[in-house]
Structure 1
């Protein structure tokens, strides 16, 4: 039995193929897309010998768009976009991936979907289903659910295949349609309404003037503007502090003032002169206090991207790529450690 397996990105396809084939007898060949290879190997699913063909997509295979007659800005009233028909189609840059799926699906009996186990992954799974069943409606469709690229998890997943969940994919379709209708209608409306209020010479500037609007974009812009106003309203103020240190046998003890900062220069100078005049300090009290230092809390995606941007000047895209690569590296190290330990 031929089984077509589809992952969400090429690195996952390669990792899962390596685990299932135990890196023995696996053959790689080119697909229509130069980035999405095809891996072939033999495997047994619930006692049934299978010839596995493993390939991948690169995120969403399809995009939602309006019918052709609604794509020109002045073809309709922006309000009409709330009711205009929409459809999903494969964009030009994903056509090669589509052709690969069609060619492989024609000679397979099963389709196993290895997309991420979230709503977006489920939606991409049904995009793959639509492409494959269009050329082979007799495919048996299964869903592999896994949370980590480790050997035990992957083998358990392929031996306990489930049905894909249409309700999760429908939820993403609804969100995409809302985003498209709101974003397109309001972007066109406010751009055409307010374009004369902005002194941008599009002939010399070389750009089209678009006042973009989006359900996620607008609140994000609000955060940026709010932070900008805070920075602009900040008034710097000078302050002074008293810092003391004692050197004994090469060991330095630093003492800090409980009050911290002084905003009065005269007071700071008076206290400093008192310290200089009386160089010998007297320890009047010693208090020992135990402090617990807890490990840092895990970061969600947004906080991770914020900190990577702040401390390392990394873009969100680069941050997620590094995170994904590191996750794969750690998982493979864990698998290697378990094998060596056994």
Structure 2
């Protein structure tokens, strides 16, 4: 009998297989003994060919253009080529597959769609016909590998997974290659800073992810804050002082008093009081006595959090340590390869029933400091069986520590941070809920009511494991609470809201109002995404889809997969669509213009910015994986969508010509992806050289002329000379600048706002913009106004307010 060839994904994985199976001999690119040969792939050894391989270049030319599109090879005719960087290992693997010494093959790559694909590409290209089995493991411990070798899956078991892998690969190629070339030919330009084309990259997952960030930015820009007031009072009781906040009478609807001075925004929720009503309440109760109207006390329980999947782990690490999505994935993968944790690329928060008998082994591996005491306590408890732990799983269960004893000192700082979080989360499922007593008190003064909330810890429960000991020394006797920021729950979440300290009170007790304060507040706009927030938004994109079947498919798989989402964010940063400002993400002008263009002018292409498109593709891929839909049908649907979008782009080009988008900003080295301005000339002393207005005008106009070869859009007629106004780098200028026309509207921010081309069009046509929201005064207050010409024939602008 010949040898069994096991193909791993990476050398580190192959070493673990060899160690477990006792394979000690080493060759060039493989391990071997009398029974096994173990080799590896180093990720994808093959890559899909460039579009030009399917074209008659002499006929269509080398220059990108819509005339060359579509390029849609039949799915059985896609061509692969060996990656130059992995050519040697590819040669070794193909020789071993064809070797007469080998009579059986086991695919041992990572147990997911992408792991299956990178093996399948080579297997199919070589056209190997030897018996094939699949090794499916969730950790690289010897115990898991040996168990996997006893339960090898057949080639038929993973045929659908392989087909889905091809579908993902071919579909993304079709979208990316066709639409990136199409959009770049129509909306790209030459980037003089980088001295290369400004490519408008389009992706099946990348573009709708960009849309999430852009739409959030628009919400922030268009947010109209509402000013409101709150009345806060301090009371003196026999056992101490406490504070309360004015509320409507208990039992009444908060919206009932709107006409009496409560403020309400356009969406309906009440935002406190107006100033007149707040002052009236404060004056009414000043110096008066009140009584305790009601005391409601109840016990609440806070269950342990779910076990980590990759997304929740990333969100937690991003919030606590500021780690990027790419850092978390890389570190989690390293922990997996070191046998410290189970498979990281999982979208599941649960464990299967069959793992229950093995959990004590996982616990015993953690009998080291600082976990030893908790492990011993957990080993005396029953195994966790609740649905928050044991439930239906997907391809892989939640991320937990393995049965391998780990030396923390051998982990890197980042590895230790993640491992510690995973260990504590795992241990917490053996412990009871955290228990609190919450108390809500309503104090009545002169017919007005003030609410006070108190909270006291009864039992830490699982929180003693996660390190949340902020209120460990609390005692139930005092009904003591904390200020808003005093206590953080698991992963930094605030669990105390507006709880304050409460003395012991009794019903109908008379209290003295010491002070009533009116506090001015303002509603806040939505926050920009952090990388962790964006991952969660990508995962939950199904919430924006009405179709229930698609919602179920998107649950946990929204835009992309847990394995691909970090790379998508990195691509958006690298390609100049997003900027990283400390921990938050914001879109560049290039990113905003692309999404605005698709949403406002390209109806067919709107599939590219919707969760529905990605949801439908994920749904169909799942059907392919389950053998319910043939790959040919899936690819036909993709090709149909691409052809419709390309036809729309061709019609746009015929009607409007080319329209370059903004360039991606330059990047500041060593400071994330912050934008930096282009350097200007300097004096010998290093001070910035000041240019005359005429020189700056010429710079702006020349910028417009330099891109005139790409047919910039004419925004309107010049008020001074009736020439064409187009967009330049620093402003909107007249093409007659060489003839002496000095008209230019600068892109300098006006109270925080920069005029868009659409707004300039309105100005030139009607003399006024639409109402613009979100201007900021010097005091920081937000306001809305129209912009109009300050005087006829002038480029100067002034505000006109709605009431005028």
Q: Residue 154 in 1 paired to residue 145 in 2?
A: yes
Equivalent residues of 2:66, 2:181 under 8 A apart: no
Question: What's the counterpart of residue 7 of structure 2?
Answer: 6
Question: What's the counterpart of residue 127 of structure 1?
Answer: 121
Looking at CA atoms only, which structure, 1 or 2, has the larger radius of gyration?
A: 2
Question: What's the counterpart of residue 264 of structure 1?
Answer: 274
Residues 12 and 238 (structure 1), Cα distance of their counterparts in 2 relative to 1, 3 Å cut? farther
Equivalent residues of 1:4, 1:54 under 8 A apart: yes
Unmatched tracts of structure 1, length 5 or more: 33-37, 43-49
Shift of 1:227: 1.2
Shift of 1:192: 1.6
Secondary structure of the residue aligned to 1:262 is strand
Instruction: Tell me which of 101, 108, 112 is aligned to 1:118.
Output: 112
Q: Residue 190 in 1 paired to residue 183 in 2?
A: yes
Equivalent residues of 1:4, 1:110 under 8 A apart: yes
Instruction: Map Cα deviations across residues 219-268 of structure 1 (whole Å, 9 max, x no partner).
Output: 222222211111111133444445678899xx997755556963434554
Once residues 244 and 266 of structure 1 are traced to their aligned partners in structure 2, the CA distance between those partners, rounded to angstroms, is: 17
Once residues 225 and 245 of structure 2 are traced to their aligned partners in structure 1, the CA distance between those partners, rounded to angstroms, is: 23
Q: How does 1:68-79 map to 2 (within 5 A)?
A: 68=53, 70=55, 72-74=62-64, 77-79=67-69
Equivalent residues of 1:69, 1:75 under 8 A apart: no
Unmatched tracts of structure 2, length 5 or more: 249-269, 343-360, 367-402, 406-804
Equivalent residues of 1:2, 1:110 under 8 A apart: yes
Question: What's the counterpart of residue 141 of structure 1?
Answer: 132
Shift of 1:210: 1.4
Question: What's the counterpart of residue 210 of structure 1?
Answer: 199
Once residues 201 and 97 of structure 1 are traced to their aligned partners in structure 2, the CA distance between those partners, rounded to angstroms, is: 39
Once residues 226 and 168 of structure 1 are traced to their aligned partners in structure 2, the CA distance between those partners, rounded to angstroms, is: 34
Once residues 31 and 281 of structure 1 are traced to their aligned partners in structure 2, the CA distance between those partners, rounded to angstroms, is: 87
Q: How does 1:331-342 map to 2 (within 5 A)?
A: 331=342, 336=365
Q: Residue 220 in 1 paired to residue 229 in 2?
A: no
Residues 130 and 31 (structure 1), Cα distance of their counterparts in 2 relative to 1, 3 Å cut? farther
Shift of 1:213: 1.9
Equivalent residues of 2:137, 2:144 under 8 A apart: yes
Shift of 1:272: 5.7
Shift of 1:175: 3.2
Shift of 1:336: 4.0
Shift of 1:286: 2.2
Q: How does 1:42-57 map to 2 (within 5 A)?
A: 51-57=35-41
Question: What's the counterpart of residue 235 of structure 1?
Answer: 224
Secondary structure of the residue aligned to 1:291 is strand
Equivalent residues of 2:72, 2:174 under 8 A apart: yes
Once residues 12 and 284 of structure 2 are traced to their aligned partners in structure 1, the CA distance between those partners, rounded to angstroms, is: 67
Secondary structure of the residue aligned to 1:330 is coil
Question: What's the counterpart of residue 47 of structure 1?
Answer: none
Shift of 1:189: 2.0
Once residues 39 and 256 of structure 1 are traced to their aligned partners in structure 2, the CA distance between those partners, rounded to angstroms, is: 72
Residues 101 and 274 (structure 1), Cα distance of their counterparts in 2 relative to 1, 3 Å cut? farther
Residues 188 and 298 (structure 1), Cα distance of their counterparts in 2 relative to 1, 3 Å cut? same
TM-score for both structures, normalised by structure 1:
0.71
Question: What's the counterpart of residue 259 of structure 2?
Answer: none
Q: How does 1:100-111 map to 2 (within 5 A)?
A: 100-102=92-94, 104-105=96-97, 106=99, 107-111=101-105
Residues 335 and 284 (structure 1), Cα distance of their counterparts in 2 relative to 1, 3 Å cut? closer
Equivalent residues of 1:67, 1:86 under 8 A apart: no
Once residues 273 and 16 of structure 2 are traced to their aligned partners in structure 1, the CA distance between those partners, rounded to angstroms, is: 60
Once residues 31 and 179 of structure 1 are traced to their aligned partners in structure 2, the CA distance between those partners, rounded to angstroms, is: 35
Instruction: Tell me which of 289, 297, 321 is aligned to 1:288.
Output: 297
Instruction: Map Cα deviations across residues 56-109 of structure 1 (whole Å, 9 max, x no partner).
Output: 323333222246363844599333412475312221122233134245443433
Shift of 1:299: 6.2
Q: Residue 98 in 1 paired to residue 94 in 2?
A: no
Once residues 232 and 146 of structure 1 are traced to their aligned partners in structure 2, the CA distance between those partners, rounded to angstroms, is: 48
Shift of 1:184: 1.5
Question: What's the counterpart of residue 379 of structure 2?
Answer: none
Equivalent residues of 1:146, 1:153 under 8 A apart: yes
Secondary structure of the residue aligned to 2:296 is coil
Question: What's the counterpart of residue 340 of structure 2?
Answer: 329
Question: What's the counterpart of residue 81 of structure 2?
Answer: 89
Shift of 1:293: 1.4
What's the C-alpha RMSD, in Å, of the aligned pairs? 4.1
Once residues 272 and 184 of structure 1 are traced to their aligned partners in structure 2, the CA distance between those partners, rounded to angstroms, is: 66
Higher helix share: 1
Residues 254 and 91 (structure 1), Cα distance of their counterparts in 2 relative to 1, 3 Å cut? farther
Instruction: Tell me which of 29, 42, 48 is aligned to 1:58.
Output: 42
Residues 255 and 149 (structure 1), Cα distance of their counterparts in 2 relative to 1, 3 Å cut? farther
Equivalent residues of 1:150, 1:335 under 8 A apart: no
Residues 93 and 184 (structure 1), Cα distance of their counterparts in 2 relative to 1, 3 Å cut? same
Once residues 270 and 97 of structure 1 are traced to their aligned partners in structure 2, the CA distance between those partners, rounded to angstroms, is: 81
Question: What's the counterpart of residue 168 of structure 1?
Answer: 161
Q: How does 1:11-26 map to 2 (within 5 A)?
A: 11-18=12-19, 20-21=20-21
Once residues 87 and 273 of structure 2 are traced to their aligned partners in structure 1, the CA distance between those partners, rounded to angstroms, is: 66
Equivalent residues of 2:54, 2:71 under 8 A apart: no
Residues 269 and 80 (structure 1), Cα distance of their counterparts in 2 relative to 1, 3 Å cut? closer
Comparing 61-70 with 155-164, greater Cα deviation is found at 61-70
